[in-house]
Amino acid sequence: MRSRGPSGRRTLGCLHRKPLTRRQDMAEKRVARVTDIIAASPTSFEDAVKVGFERAVKTLRGVTGIKVIEQRVSVDNDNISEYRVRLEVIFVLEN
């Protein structure tokens, strides 16, 4: 767990460690994976993104970002019946 030390720099939450500099903090080695999901809502694109995000974080650990790749609508009888989004979900792989 990270916290702020007396100097305002981030630490790893251990009292015996020196605060990390920004360069050291950014030097962590991580590997991320990207997966696509499609979510839908009868209300709006924004709601479809929320639905997709909420479902992604239920299943995936370490989600760090989501990118909206595509937006589409489903039409029935000349009316929009569903808003759909294709999302790219980025998550960090565990050690």
The tally of domains found in the chain comes to 2
The two three-digit tokens of residue 64, written as one number: 């760090």
Of 5, 21, 25, 24, the residue nearest 13 (C-alpha): 5
**pLDDT (tens digit, 9 = 90+) per residue, 54-74?**
999 999 999 999 999 999 999
What CATH number did the domain enclosing 71 receive?
Answer: 3.30.1660.10
8-23 mean pLDDT: 52
Contact at 8 Å (CB) between 87 and 67?
yes
Domain containing residue 38? 31-95
Q: How far apart are the first and last CA of the chain?
A: 16
Q: Model confidence at 30, in pLDDT bands (50, 70, 90)?
A: confident
Average confidence score pLDDT of the chain? 83
Contact at 8 Å (CB) between 38 and 84?
yes
Q: Are residues 18 and 35 in the same domain?
A: no
Q: Are residues 59 and 94 in the same domain?
A: yes
pLDDT surpassing 50 at residue 14? no
Q: Are residues 77 and 35 in the same domain?
A: yes
Query: What local confidence, expressed as pLDDT, does residue 28 receive?
Result: 75
Compute CA 33 distance to the chain's CA centroid, rounded to the nearest angstrom. Answer: 11
